[in-house]
């Protein structure tokens, strides 16, 4: 049995596909229009959550841990890795 598609089904599916493709542009145009008229104000500072950005920087504890272990950064960590796996497994 061969699958068949009617003209109505083809038209419906292609219109859904085209509508979905045009939606981001339509939404972006609406947002730009609102920003241009001042209806949608943009905050002064935007935290970009997708880039793992921290506006406060690293903590002092993290900086001290990095500084205190900098001399070990060139070593292979085969033994430490096993200990880490065990600690994680115990959690």
Model confidence over 54-90: pLDDT tens digits?
A: 777 888 998 999 999 888 878 777 778 888 888 899 9
- Alpha carbon of 72 to those of 7, 68, 69: distances in Å? 68, 9, 5
pLDDT at 42 over 80: no
Torsion, CA 63, CA 69, CA 70, CA 76, rounded to 10: -130
pLDDT score at 58: 83
pTM of full prediction above 0.85: no
Looking up tokens 């970009």, which residue turns up?
48
For the chain, the domains span 7-90
């Amino acid at each position: 049995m061969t699958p068949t598609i009617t003209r109505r089904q083809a038209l419906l599916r292609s219109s859904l596909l085209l509508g979905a493709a045009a939606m981001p542009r339509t939404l972006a145009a609406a947002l730009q229009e609102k920003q241009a008229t001042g209806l949608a104000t943009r905050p002064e500072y935007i935290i970009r959550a997708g880039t793992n950005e921290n506006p406060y920087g690293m903590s002092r504890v993290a900086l001290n841990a990095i500084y205190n272990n900098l001399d070990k950064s060139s070593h292979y960590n085969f033994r430490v890795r096993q200990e880490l796996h065990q600690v994680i497994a115990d959690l």
